[in-house]
C-alpha cells in the first residue's frame, strides 16, 4: 500500500490538474467578443481542442515529474543500471493507434466546422475589399446599393446578413482579418479571393492587416460597423450622396490605427 | 583557450597565408589564407564594377555618363566577393589543382587537429575541429540573434514608438529569424553531428573532409552578409525571413543580401548533408549495422535526406526573387502574368521540411541523453528509427498548411490538414517512447538530463499547438498572429534550443576535454526554463485576442501583456550569460574530463576526451546495440589490441574517401 502511495498521489494530482485546466480554459477570456456566426463555431472548436489537449499535456508532464521524483538516482546507486526493457509491441501499437484516432476525429470535426463556416447561404450580399499600402477601401456594388456603386474607407455591414467579401490588392499581399469574426484571408495581387461572414452582433470591431506589407503595416487598420438593416440603408444613402461631392475620400491610415486602438467592442 | 585534440606533437605544417609561418610576403600572398582572400575580394569588386559597366553599355546606357550603378555593382559583388573569399582562403585549392591537371598535394594530415586557437580560423579538414568551428560560430549568431530579439522586445514594451522606426523594426525581426534559422539551429546541429557522428560510427573522419571544410566556411559568409544588410541603403531586408513576393521583389537592396546569403547557407547545408549521408552509409565501422547505430546517427541520416531533397527549393525561391528584383524577370509580378502564390508554394516546400531539419537532430540528442542518463535501453528503438523516416516522408506532404489563408485553391487545405494531423503520430511515438525509457530507470538529473526533461514538456506544448493549427477554422483566425509566434518558439526554442543545450552540455567533456560546472548548468536550465515559459506562454493569448505578428506598434489593450513578456524576455536573455560564463571558464580551466564521464556505451565515449587526431588508435568492432544498459556484460563496441598492418590496410580500403595512413 505504502509503495503505491506516490503513484496514487500523482494520479490524483494529474486528475486535479486536468480538472483545473479545463475549468480555467472556460474562465479565461481567450478571444475578443464573438460578432459572427463563424466565431461561435470556431470558438467551440477551440474549446474542444483545448479540452482534448489538456489531458495529453498533463499526462506527459505527470510522467516526467513522477519519474524525476520516484526514479531519480539515490545515493549509492551511482553505478546501478535500470532494467533492460527494450520495448513492448502492444504498448507501442496502442500509443500509435490511439493518437491517430483522436487526431483523425479532431480533424474531421474541424472539417464539419469549416463546412458550416463556409457554406453558401440562401441570400448574401457582395462587398469588395481593396487593400493597398497602407489602407483599406470597401466597395458596395449596385446589387447592394440598388443604385450606383458606393465606396467607403470604413466597413459597414447589416447584422444577421451573410456577406461575401471579394478581396483585391493594388500592390503587395495583405491579409483582411476581422478578429471579432475569427476570419481572415490574404489579399493577393492578381487574383480575387473570397470569403463569407455572417455578422450577428451589433457593434464596431477592428479590421487588421495581418500580413506584412511594408513600413506602414502596423498602421493598416480600419473598422467594421455592424449595424441594423435601417442604419445600413442610411449609410449607403449618405455615401451615395457624398460620393457625388468627393468620390475619393482621403483614407487616413493613421486615423484608422488610432480608432482601432480605442476600439470599444474588441474585448 | 584549451585545444581540442590531444596535444601531441604538432606535425610539420605551414599556414603562411593566415599570418603564421615565416615566408616572404609575396609567398604569403600566394598561399591560401586571409592575405590571398583580401586581394582576391578586391579583384571581385573590380570585376563587378567592370561587368556591370559592360552590360549597361551594351544595353544602351551612356558609356561614360551613367556607367556606375551602385545597386548593380553591389548585387554582383554580393555573389562574387564571397566566392573569391572562399577561393582565397583555400577552400577550392585541391580541386583546382586536380582539375588543372597539376600535381595535387597528397593528404599529409597537416590540416588535422587544432593546436592553437589560430587553427580554428583556417581551412581545417578535421571533423572535430570543423564541429567546433560550426558550434562556436553558430552560438555567436545565437547571441547576435538574441540581442536583436532584446531590441525588439524593448520596442514592444509599450505601444507606440520607443527606439526604432517601422523599417528598422521590420529589419530586426527579419534578421533575427534568418540568423537563428540559417546560422544557428541548422548549422549548430550540423556542428554537433560533425563532431560526434564519425566517432559514433567508428570512422576516422567524414567521407569528404575537404567538402566539410568548405561547407563550414560558407556559413560565416552567409551570416556576415545578413548582418551587413543593416548598412545597406534602405536598411536591412525587412520582409520577414519568409520574404514573400511581391513585397520582397520591390524591396530596397537589403533584400538581395538575404537572397544571396540564403544561397550560401543553403549550399553549406546541402554539402554537409551529402557528407553525412555518404559517411553514414559507407564509413560505418565493422559490425555497425544500421540497426546498431545510435539514434543520433539515425536522426542525422533522416535530416540529411530532408536537406538534400528540400534545400534546393528555397535556393530556387530566392533566385526567383533575385532575378525579379535585379533583372525584372516578373516571376511574381501579377500585372505581367507572374504568379504570386507560386512563391509561397516553392518557399514552403523547403521551409516546412526545414522545421523537421531543425528538430530531428534534436530528437537524436534527446535519445542519447535520456538513454544514458536513465541507464536504460531506448524503449522501442526500431520504432524510434522508423518514426524518423515517417517524418521525412510525411514532412513533404504538409507544406500548404502554412497557406490555409493564402487564397490558394480551397480544396488543397483538406488533404494538407489530414497529413498535418497525421504527422503528429510519429512525433507522439517518440515522446511516449522517451517517457517509457524514463520509467523505472535510474535517473541522473544533471544538466543535460534536465534540459532533456524540460524539452519533453515544452516541446509537447509546441506540438499540441501545432496540432491545433492543423484545424483549418482555428488556423484561419490565428494565422500570422502572436499565437504563431508562440507556437514556433515553443518548437524552436522549447524544442530545438533545449535539445541543443542538452547536447552541448552532454558532449562538452568530449569536445573540450574539460568538465563544465554542474551547479551553473542547473542554474542555467532553471532560469531558461522558467523565463522561456513566461516569455512565450502569454504570446498564445495575445494572438488569440487579435494581436498580429510583425508589428512595431499595437493596440493599447495588449500593452500589459507585452510589458510582462518584454521583462521576462530580458531575464531569459540574461540567463544565457550563465551559459556563456560556464562554457568559457570551463573550457579554459575546468577539471580535466575522463574519457567516459557518463558511462555511455556509444563509441565516442570509448576514446579519450578529447579524442585522438584520427579518432581511434585501436579499431572498434561493434558487437551489439548502442543502449544495452542493464544487460549484464553487454558492450556496444570492442577494440582490437593494435591494428596489424593488414587490418589497417583493410580499413583504409573500406574507408575509401577517408584519410588513409
pLDDT single digits (tens) B196-212: 999 999 999 999 999 99
From chain A, the residues in CB contact with B474 under 8 A are 42, 45-46, 49, 110
Q: Are A245 and A155 found together in one domain?
A: yes
The answer to the question of residue A225 being in a domain is yes
A252 pLDDT exceeds 60?
Answer: no
- Indicate the average pLDDT of chain B: 91
Q: Considering the entire predicted model, what is its pTM?
A: 0.92
Percentage of chain B modeled with pLDDT above 90: 82
Q: Which band of pLDDT confidence, cut at 50, 70 and 90, is reported for residue B26?
A: confident
pLDDT for residue B111 = 66
Same domain, A103 and A176: no
Q: Is the pLDDT of residue B386 over 50?
A: yes
Q: Is the pLDDT of residue B140 over 80?
A: yes
Query: What CATH number has the domain bearing residue A217?
Result: 2.60.40.420
User: How many domains is chain A built from?
Assistant: 2
Domain presence at residue A109: yes
Task: Answer yes or no: do A146 and A97 share one domain.
Answer: no
Q: Is the peptide bond before B246 cis (omega within 30 degrees of 0)?
A: yes
Q: What is the pLDDT of residues A24-51, one digit of tens each?
A: 999 999 999 999 999 999 999 999 999 9
Please report, for residues B401, B431, B466, the alpha-carbon distance to residue B424 in angstroms, rounded to integers and kept in the order given. Answer: 14, 10, 9
Residues A104 and A146 in one domain: no
Give me the torsion for CA of A92, A93, A98, A104, rounded to 10°. Answer: 120
pLDDT tens-digit readout, B141-150: 999 999 999 9
Neighboring chain B residues of A118 at a CB cutoff of 8 Å: 410
* pLDDT cut 90: percent of chain A above it: 86
Whole-angstrom CA distances from B441 to A180, B429, B507 are 50, 19, 21
Tell me the residue length of chain A.
Answer: 267
pLDDT digits (tens, 9 = 90+) for A122-181: 999 999 999 999 999 999 999 998 888 999 999 999 999 999 999 999 999 999 999 999
Judge: A173–B244 Cβ closer than 8 Å, yes or no.
yes
pLDDT, tens digit (0-9, with 9 covering 90-100), for A6-29: 999 999 999 999 999 999 999 999
**Whether residue A135 is found in the same domain as residue A257:** yes
Provide, rounded to the nearest whole percent, the portion of chain B with pLDDT above 70: 92
Q: Do A58 and A135 have their domain in common?
A: no
Record: fold of B127-589: Cytochrome C Oxidase; Chain A (1.20.210)
pLDDT tens sequence across B530-547: 999 999 999 999 999 999
Nearest beta carbon to residue B457 from set A61, A179, A189: A61
List the one residue out of B91, B340, B295, B73 whose CA is nearest residue B201: B295
Domain span at residue A153 reads 125-261
Interface of A with B in 61-80 (CB under 8 A): 61, 63-64, 67-68, 71-73, 77, 79-80
Does A221 fall in a domain? yes
Confidence band for A248, pLDDT divided at 50, 70 and 90: very low
Verify that A238 and A132 share a domain, yes or no: yes
Looking at the structure, tell me whether residues A9 and A105 fall in a common domain. yes
Taking a C-beta distance cutoff of 8 angstroms, is the pair A235, A153 a contact?
A: no
Average pLDDT of the residues in B57-80? 83
CA-wise closest residue to B402 among B386, B416, B390: B416
Of the two residues B660 and B618, the one the predictor is more confident about is B618
B472 closest CB neighbour out of A103, A110, A217: A110
- B476 vs A: CB within 8 A: yes
Residues A99 and A6 both lie in one domain:
yes
Contact: A191, B334; criterion CB under 8 Å: yes
Same domain, A101 and A12: yes
Cell of B230: 543593416
Give the model's pLDDT for residue B58. Answer: 85
Count A/B contacts: CB-CB distance under 8 Å.
266
Render chain A in DSSP notation, one character per residue.
Answer: -GGGHHHHHHHHHHHHHHHHHHHHHHHS--SSPP-BHHHHHHHHHHHHHHHHHHHHHHHHHHHHHHHHHHSBPPTT-TT---------HHHHHHHHHHHHHHHHHHHHHHHHHHHHHHPPPSS-EEEEEEEETTEEEEEE-HHHHSSS-EEESSEEEETT--EEEEEEESSS-EEEEEGGGTEEEEE-TTS-EEEEE-B-S-EEEEEEE-S--STTGGG-EEEEEEE-HHHHHHHHHHHHHHHHH-SS----HHHHHHHHHT-TT--
Number of residues written out for chain B = 661
Residues A92 and A140 in one domain: no
- Mean pLDDT of chain A, nearest integer: 90
What is the side-by-side strand order in the sheet with A183-187? Answer: A155-158, A221-227, A203-209, A174-178, A183-187
B108 Cβ under 8 Å from any chain A Cβ: no
CB-based contact A218 B553, cutoff 8 Å: yes
Give pLDDT, residue B536: 97
Write down the domain spans for chain B. 34-88, 127-589
DSSP H helices in B515-631: 518-545, 559-589
Contact B543, B562 (CB under 8 A): no
Of A68, A79, A96, the CB nearest to B453: A68
> What is the model's pLDDT at position B20?
58
In a domain, A129, yes or no: yes
B38-42, B53-57, B644-648: range with highest mean pLDDT: B38-42
Tell whether B90 is within 8 A of chain A (Cβ). Answer: no
pLDDT at residue B24, as a whole number:
80
Q: How confident is the model at residue B582 (pLDDT cuts 50, 70, 90)?
A: very high
- Partners of A267 on chain B (C-beta within 8 Å) are 545-546
User: pLDDT-derived band of residue B559, with 50, 70 and 90 as boundaries?
Assistant: very high
| Res B158 pLDDT > 70 | yes
A114 shares its domain with A132: no
Sign for the pseudo-dihedral over CA of B473, B475, B480, B481: positive
Q: Say how far apart CA B439 and CA B378 lie, in whole Å.
A: 11
**Are B235 and B157 spatial neighbours (Cβ–Cβ below 8 Å)?**
no
Helices (DSSP H) in B34-185: which residue ranges? 34-58, 70-88, 93-99, 127-156, 166-178
- pLDDT of A250 over the 90 cut: no
Q: Does residue B460 carry a pLDDT above 90? A: yes
- Position A80 in a domain: no
Chain A's closest residue to B422, CA to CA, is: A100
- Coil, helix or strand at residue B547: coil
CB of A28 within 8 Å of a chain B CB? The answer is: yes
For B108, the grid coordinates are 599529409
Partners of B525 on chain A (C-beta within 8 Å) are none
Query: For B182-187, what is the mean pLDDT?
Result: 97
Phi then psi for residue B284, to 5 deg, are -65, 140
Residue scoring higher pLDDT (B635 or B4): B635
DSSP state string for B75-93: HHHHHHHHHHHHHHTTTTH
In the block, cell 589560430 appears at: B118
Q: B467 and A106: CB-CB below 8 Å? A: yes
What is the distance in angstroms between the CA of the first residue and the CA of the last residue of chain B? 29
Answer whether A184 touches B (CB < 8 Å).
Answer: yes
> Does the beta-carbon distance from A185 to B464 stay under 8 Å?
no
Per CB-CB distance under 8 Å, the chain A contacts of B443 are 67-68, 71-73
Please check whether residue A46 touches B, CB under 8 A. yes
Contact B334 A107 (CB under 8 A): no
For B161-190, what is the mean pLDDT?
A: 95
Amino acid at each position: 500500500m505504502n509503495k503505491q502511495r506516490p503513484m496514487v498521489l500523482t494520479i490524483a494530482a494529474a486528475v486535479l490538474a486536468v480538472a483545473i485546466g479545463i475549468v480555467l480554459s472556460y474562465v479565461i477570456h481567450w478571444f475578443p467578443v464573438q460578432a459572427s456566426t463563424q466565431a461561435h463555431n470556431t470558438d467551440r472548436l477551440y474549446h474542444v481542442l483545448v479540452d482534448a489537449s489538456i489531458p495529453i499535456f498533463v499526462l506527459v508532464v505527470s510522467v516526467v515529474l513522477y519519474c524525476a521524483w520516484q526514479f531519480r538516482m539515490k545515493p549509492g546507486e551511482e553505478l546501478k543500471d535500470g532494467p533492460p526493457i527494450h520495448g513492448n509491441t502492444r504498448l507501442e501499437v496502442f500509443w500509435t493507434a490511439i493518437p491517430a484516432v483522436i487526431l483523425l476525429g479532431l480533424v474531421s470535426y474541424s472539417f464539419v466546422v469549416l463546412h458550416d463556416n463556409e457554406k453558401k447561404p440562401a441570400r448574401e450580399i457582395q462587398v469588395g475589399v481593396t487593400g493597398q499600402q497602407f489602407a483599406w477601401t470597401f466597395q458596395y456594388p449596385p446589387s447592394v446599393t440598388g443604385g450606383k456603386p458606393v465606396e467607403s474607407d470604413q466597413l459597414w455591414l447589416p447584422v444577421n446578413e451573410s456577406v461575401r467579401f471579394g478581396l483585391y490588392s493594388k500592390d503587395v499581399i495583405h491579409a483582411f482579418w476581422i478578429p471579432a469574426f475569427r476570419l481572415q484571408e490574404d489579399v493577393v495581387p492578381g487574383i480575387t479571393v473570397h470569403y463569407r461572414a455572417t455578422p450577428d452582433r451589433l457593434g464596431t470591431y477592428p479590421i487588421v492587416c495581418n500580413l506584412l506589407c511594408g513600413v506602414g503595416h502596423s498602421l493598416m487598420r480600419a473598422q467594421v460597423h455592424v449595424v441594423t438593416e435601417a442604419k445600413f440603408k442610411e449609410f449607403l444613402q449618405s455615401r451615395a450622396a457624398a460620393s457625388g461631392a468627393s468620390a475619393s475620400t482621403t483614407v487616413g491610415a493613421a486615423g484608422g490605427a488610432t480608432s482601432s486602438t480605442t476600439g470599444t467592442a474588441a474585448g | 583557450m584549451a585545444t581540442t585534440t590531444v596535444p601531441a606533437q604538432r606535425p610539420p605544417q605551414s599556414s603562411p597565408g593566415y599570418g603564421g609561418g615565416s615566408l616572404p610576403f609575396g609567398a604569403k600572398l600566394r598561399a591560401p589564407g586571409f592575405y590571398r582572400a583580401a586581394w582576391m575580394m578586391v579583384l571581385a569588386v573590380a570585376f563587378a564594377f567592370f561587368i556591370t559597366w559592360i552590360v549597361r553599355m551594351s544595353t544602351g546606357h551612356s558609356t561614360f555618363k551613367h556607367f556606375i550603378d551602385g545597386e548593380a555593382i553591389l548585387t554582383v559583388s554580393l555573389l562574387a566577393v564571397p566566392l573569391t573569399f572562399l577561393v582565397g582562403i583555400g577552400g577550392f585549392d585541391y580541386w583546382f589543382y586536380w582539375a588543372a591537371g597539376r600535381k595535387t598535394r597528397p593528404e599529409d594530415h597537416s590540416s588535422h587537429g587544432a593546436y592553437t586557437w589560430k587553427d580554428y580560423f583556417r581551412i581545417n579538414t578535421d571533423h572535430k575541429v570543423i564541429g567546433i568551428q560550426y558550434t562556436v560560430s553558430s552560438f555567436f549568431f545565437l547571441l547576435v540573434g538574441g540581442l536583436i530579439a532584446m531590441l525588439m522586445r524593448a520596442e514592444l514594451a509599450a505601444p507606440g514608438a520607443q527606439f526604432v522606426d517601422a523599417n528598422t523594426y521590420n529589419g530586426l525581426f527579419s534578421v533575427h529569424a534568418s540568423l537563428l534559422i540559417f546560422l544557428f539551429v541548422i548549422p549548430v546541429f550540423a556542428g554537433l553531428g560533425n563532431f560526434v557522428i564519425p566517432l559514433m560510427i567508428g570512422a576516422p573522419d567524414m567521407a569528404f573532409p575537404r567538402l566539410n571544410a568548405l561547407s563550414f566556411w560558407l556559413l560565416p559568409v552567409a551570416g556576415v552578409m545578413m548582418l551587413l544588410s543593416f548598412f545597406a541603403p534602405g536598411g536591412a531586408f525587412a520582409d520577414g525571413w519568409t520574404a514573400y513576393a511581391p513585397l520582397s521583389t520591390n524591396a530596397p537592396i537589403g533584400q538581395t543580401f538575404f537572397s544571396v546569403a540564403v544561397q550560401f547557407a543553403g549550399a553549406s547545408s546541402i554539402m554537409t548533408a551529402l557528407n553525412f549521408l555518404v559517411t553514414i552509409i559507407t564509413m560505418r565501422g565493422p559490425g555497425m549495422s544500421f540497426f546498431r547505430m545510435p539514434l543520433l546517427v539515425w536522426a542525422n541520416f533522416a535530416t540529411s535526406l530532408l536537406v538534400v531533397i528540400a534545400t534546393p527549393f528555397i535556393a530556387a525561391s530566392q533566385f526567383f526573387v533575385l532575378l525579379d528584383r535585379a533583372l525584372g524577370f516578373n516571376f511574381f509580378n501579377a500585372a505581367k502574368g507572374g504568379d504570386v502564390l507560386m512563391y509561397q508554394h516553392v518557399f514552403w516546400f523547403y521551409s516546412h521540411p526545414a522545421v523537421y531539419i531543425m528538430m530531428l537532430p534534436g530528437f537524436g540528442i534527446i535519445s542519447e541523453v535520456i538513454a544514458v542518463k536513465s541507464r536504460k535501453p531506448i524503449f522501442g528503438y526500431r520504432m524510434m528509427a522508423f518514426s524518423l523516416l515517417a517524418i521525412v516522408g510525411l514532412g513533404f506532404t504538409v507544406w500548404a498548411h502554412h497557406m490555409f489563408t493564402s487564397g490558394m485553391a480551397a480544396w488543397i487545405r483538406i488533404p494538407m490538414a489530414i497529413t498535418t494531423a497525421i504527422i503528429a503520430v510519429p512525433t507522439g511515438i517518440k515522446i511516449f517512447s522517451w517517457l517509457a525509457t524514463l520509467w523505472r530507470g535510474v535517473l541522473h538529473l544533471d544538466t543535460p538530463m534536465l534540459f532533456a526533461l524540460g524539452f519533453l514538456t515544452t516541446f509537447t506544448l509546441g506540438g499540441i499547438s501545432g496540432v491545433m493549427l492543423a484545424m483549418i477554422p482555428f488556423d484561419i483566425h490565428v494565422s500570422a498572429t502572436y499565437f504563431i509566434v508562440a507556437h514556433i518558439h515553443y518548437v524552436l526554442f522549447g524544442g530545438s534550443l533545449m535539445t541543443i543545450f542538452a547536447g552541448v552540455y552532454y558532449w562538452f567533456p568530449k569536445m573540450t576535454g574539460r568538465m563544465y560546472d554542474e551547479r551553473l548548468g542547473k542554474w542555467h536550465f532553471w532560469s531558461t526554463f522558467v523565463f522561456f515559459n513566461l516569455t512565450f506562454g502569454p504570446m498564445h493569448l495575445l494572438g488569440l485576442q487579435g494581436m498580429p505578428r510583425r508589428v512595431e506598434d499595437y493596440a493599447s489593450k495588449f500593452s500589459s501583456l507585452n510589458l510582462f513578456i518584454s521583462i521576462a524576455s530580458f531575464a531569459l536573455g540574461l540567463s544565457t550569460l550563465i551559459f556563456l560564463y560556464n562554457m568559457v571558464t570551463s573550457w579554459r580551466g575546468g577539471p580535466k574530463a575522463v574519457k567516459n564521464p557518463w558511462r555511455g556505451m556509444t563509441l565516442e565515449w570509448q576514446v579519450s576526451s578529447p579524442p585522438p587526431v584520427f579518432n581511434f588508435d585501436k579499431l572498434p568492432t561493434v558487437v551489439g546495440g548502442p543502449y544495452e544498459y542493464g544487460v549484464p556484460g553487454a558492450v556496444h563496441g570492442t577494440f582490437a589490441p593494435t591494428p596489424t598492418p593488414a587490418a589497417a590496410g583493410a580499413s583504409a580500403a573500406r574507408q575509401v574517401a577517408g584519410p588513409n595512413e
